[in-house]
Amino acid sequence: MSNCSRINAVSQIAKINNPVPGTASEVKFDYFAEDVFNEETMQKYLPKDICVKLQHTVTENTPLDPAIAADVARAMKEWALDRGATHFTHWFQPLTGSTAEKHDSFLEIKNGTAIMAFSGKNLIVGEPDASSFPSGGLRSTFEARGYTAWDPTSPAFIKRHANGATLCIPTAFCSYTGEALDKKTPLMRSLQALKKSVARLMKCFNRTGEAIAITLGPEQEYFLIDKKFYLNRPDLLQCGRTLFGVVPAKHQQLDDHYFGSIKPRILNFMTELEVELWKLGIPAKTRHNEAAPAQFEIAPIFEELNLAVDHNMLIMEMIRQLAERHGLVALLHEKPFAGVNGSGKHNNWSISYGNDNLLDPGDNPHQNAIFLTVLAAIIRAVDMHSDLLRSATASAGNDHRLGANEAPPAIISIFLGDQLNEIIDQIEKGGKSASKKAGSMKIGVDALVPLPKDATDRNRTSPFAFTGNKFEFRGPGSSQSCAGACVIINTIVAESMDKISSELETFAPEEFNTKLQTLLQKIIKKHKKIIFNGDNYSREWEEEAARRKLPNLRTTPEALKPLLKKENIELCRKYGVFSETEMRSRYEVFLSEYNRRIRIEGELALEIAGNVILPVVQEELNAVLDTLDKSIRTGISVPMLKDNAAKLASDVNALIAECSNMENALAQDSSAIIDGMNKLRTIVDSLEIQVDDRRWPLPKYREMLFIY
């Protein structure tokens, strides 16, 4: 028997006794945001008047004064050089779903002399090649020009590597003709639209001129496995998920990994990760073991939404980089292992006006009225546009995750909890019935009994759940940018708030409360079908959702079609979030990406099955037949050995047949390829159980999930 690299990997990993040395022993807090060009740094490097103007742009979202660009660039360069940076880059988020950067040195030659230079133009605009980024028809391959534009609301930062550092400037990315080629531009447009709608709604309640903040707290789930296992799994290397593998007898059934004691090697990684994130001003707060073995979670403190999205992209990048430093590999795919929990990215979204969180019920009638109005707007928005919310979660990886193992289903619904649901029922019925918990309801007159922060239980099966003072959208996958989901949430809530404001603006002051109650009653009656507080996994809910005519878009091709609906295109165009061509381009980009990923997985599944698995099982079959032949020649009757040989021979033939079928499937569409992969996996996983453990070439689930 040839030496098995999988067995060698297990042996080598077992010899790791101590955590990889890191920075855990030097944890301090005085370096928080030391690599960020924030307000404190600006005050040190910029003249006071320039600093005030720049901060005004950052905090008030006012247009940047071009006259200060040169001064800001000079200060940013000096700070970056002081921090050891040698290059700068415009850091942007193309439609690939990851980040992109092109490094330029500060070095310039002037009159034969080397100088360090960084102009206002270098800061404000860049010109990377746009031809190779996906555009969905917005750009032709021969049209290379694209532009990056500085986003001053997200601070510049320094990324460090083994041999130096680079100044990174967060930017939007657009085409030569002005179309958005990235995820940041639509996000900033949607934030602008929502803030206008919030200001309009609050004016109806006689509140004006206060700061509006849309906040986000994304929880990031991920897996960690030893790099030696990863390098022996071609499917993980190329696809990010295992195309084959038997779920071990013990995985997550005992719930012993969830919130369990963190292993020293992992804790050392987590500690160093937090330190590096803190240097970048990312307020990483929570770390813990997740439900599946080898699965973990990190969550930051809530931040302004645009900044939170940028920070989440950096969190994913840092997780990958630092895992490598510790001899690990981070898997951010939504379902790297079949049969156990997948990984999501829970988007905790909220709105503040002045010092008030508009999703906090408050403790007086006026606050209660605002809260219930905002709540009604969100209920209406999600009900009317649940198809767009589903579109925002569509991906090949997420198709494997949605609908099981604490991931919500493809059917979008809202969870409110018993107490809020009771209040909603009271409003619908007219507001005079007594509530066990909240007293009678008459908006703006009788005070709603103060609700605690956690006025609801948690529903881990709900896609869109109210969790005390925010909504948690659990649909997005772990590898996805938060931007896509938040663009849709912002836009549909803005439209819903405007619809309500249009009616509120017609109410006379003396009849405002009475007519508000009637309006909310009408909204709730029409849109309450989106509210569901039960088990979203149950067959009964799927049937009930169908009766309520809620969309159930199970696959990515189905889920992307709403992007082409006339009313959805008009909604996004009206709020300036996407033009029609930009909307259609997203459909083309995301569908093409889906089809390419499925094809890559199909081709790799065939390659592994034919070139890695088949030779091993044929070798196993020959060994079993040799043993059987010897037993027959020596007169020893071993009936079970004969049965095993027959079963193994049958599965080897089945594997050869399914490889042939897979070749045919690859000439067809994605659904045929997926069906072929599923059949191929069934045979390969059956063979994994039959083949001698010392011979099986691929690291097994029981090893990858438990040995690290």
What is the rounded CA–CA span in Å between residue 73 and residue 653? Answer: 67
Q: Strands 113-116 and 107-110: what pairing?
A: antiparallel
What is the rounded CA–CA span in Å between residue 516 and residue 338? Answer: 50
440 confidence band (pLDDT: 50, 70, 90): very low
Structure tokens at 340: 């156990």
Taking residues 7-13, what's their average pLDDT? 83
Taking residues 40-49, what's their average pLDDT? 93
For residue 145, the tally of other CB atoms under 10 A from its CB is 13
pLDDT of residue 458: 63
Taking residues 47-52, what's their average pLDDT? 92
pLDDT of residue 1: 45
- Asked whether the predicted pLDDT for residue 635 surpasses 90, the reply is no
134 confidence band (pLDDT: 50, 70, 90): confident
The mean predicted confidence, pLDDT, of the chain is 90
DSSP 3-state assignment of 504? helix
433 confidence band (pLDDT: 50, 70, 90): very low
Could you tell me if 600 and 238 are in contact, meaning their C-beta atoms sit under 8 angstroms apart? yes
DSSP 3-state assignment of 695? coil
pLDDT of residue 42: 94
DSSP 3-state assignment of 166? strand
pLDDT of residue 693: 94
Give the list of residues 6+ apart from residue 160 with CB closer than 8 angstroms, or none.
35, 84
What is the rounded CA–CA span in Å between residue 520 and residue 265? Answer: 54
Share of the chain above pLDDT 70, in %: 92
Residue 415: burial class (beta carbons within 10 Å; 0-12, 13-18, 19+)? buried
What is the rounded CA–CA span in Å between residue 212 and residue 210? Answer: 6
Which domains, ranges and CATH numbers included, belong to the chain?
A: 31-182 (3.10.20.70), 190-240+253-578 (3.30.590.10), 595-704 (1.20.120.1560)
What is the rounded CA–CA span in Å between residue 600 and residue 566? Answer: 33
Could you tell me if 99 and 91 are in contact, meaning their C-beta atoms sit under 8 angstroms apart? yes
**What is the full DSSP assignment across 568-627?**
HHHHHHHTTS--HHHHHHHHHHHHHHHHHHHHHHHHHHHHIIIIIIHHHHHHHHHHHHHH
pLDDT of residue 690: 95
Angle between helices 365-384 and 482-504 (to 10 degrees): 120
Give the list of residues 6+ apart from residue 622 with CB closer than 8 angstroms, or none.
none
Could you tell me if 651 and 690 are in contact, meaning their C-beta atoms sit under 8 angstroms apart? yes
Cα(first)–Cα(last) distance of the chain, in Å?
27
Poorest-confidence range of 19-23, 327-331, 572-576?
19-23
Could you tell me if 384 and 364 are in contact, meaning their C-beta atoms sit under 8 angstroms apart? no
Q: Strands 157-161 and 164-175: what pairing?
A: antiparallel
Q: Which of 81, 165, 173, 57 is nearest to 125 (CA)?
A: 173
Within 71-211, strands assigned E span: 85-91, 103-105, 107-110, 113-116, 125-126, 146-150, 157-161, 164-175
425 confidence band (pLDDT: 50, 70, 90): confident
Whole-number Cα distances in Å, 623 to 13, 319, 619, 635, 690:
29, 44, 6, 18, 12
Rg of the chain (C-alpha set): 28
Q: Which of 85, 81, 53, 83 is nearest to 68 (CA)?
A: 53
Whole-number Cα distances in Å, 150 to 52, 121, 126, 529:
18, 10, 9, 43
Poorest-confidence range of 142-146, 487-491, 492-496, 626-630?
142-146
pLDDT of residue 445: 45
pLDDT of residue 406: 64
What is the rounded CA–CA span in Å between residue 171 and residue 35? Answer: 18
DSSP at 612: I
Q: Which of 673, 642, 682 is nearest to 555 (CA)?
A: 673
Q: Phi then psi for 412, rounded to 5 degrees?
A: -85, 130
The H or E element that residue 303 is part of is strand 303-304
Could you tell me if 420 and 456 are in contact, meaning their C-beta atoms sit under 8 angstroms apart? yes
Taking residues 119-128, what's their average pLDDT? 88
Q: Phi then psi for 360, rounded to 5 degrees?
A: -100, 120
Q: Which of 183, 133, 125 is nearest to 306 (CA)?
A: 183
pTM of the model: 0.93
DSSP at 477: B
Whole-number Cα distances in Å, 621 to 636, 640, 650, 684, 685:
19, 15, 10, 14, 16
Taking residues 199-220, what's their average pLDDT? 97
**What is the full DSSP assignment across 628-679?**
HHHHHHTT---HHHHHHHHHHHHHHHHHHHHHHHHHHHTTS-HHHHHHHHHH
Structure tokens at 646: 């027959």
Work out whether the CA dihedral 672, 673, 677, 680 comes out positive or negative.
Answer: positive
What is the rounded CA–CA span in Å between residue 344 and residue 406? Answer: 9
Kindly report, residue by residue over 341-394, the tens digit of the pLDDT.
999 999 999 999 999 999 988 776 567 899 999 999 999 999 999 999 999 999
- Asked whether the predicted pLDDT for residue 198 surpasses 80, the reply is yes
**Tokens 């042996």 correspond to what residue?**
11
- Asked whether the predicted pLDDT for residue 698 surpasses 90, the reply is yes
Chain centroid to Cα 274, Å, comes to 19
**Tokens 């091709």 correspond to what residue?**
557
* Amino acid at position 69, single letter: A
- Asked whether the predicted pLDDT for residue 24 surpasses 60, the reply is no
pLDDT of residue 340: 94
Kindly report, residue by residue over 518-570, the tens digit of the pLDDT.
999 999 999 999 999 998 988 899 999 999 999 999 999 999 999 999 999 99
The H or E element that residue 216 is part of is strand 212-226
pLDDT of residue 614: 97
Whole-number Cα distances in Å, 184 to 173, 318, 484, 646:
8, 20, 9, 59
Whole-number Cα distances in Å, 490 to 207, 306, 396, 610:
21, 12, 24, 48
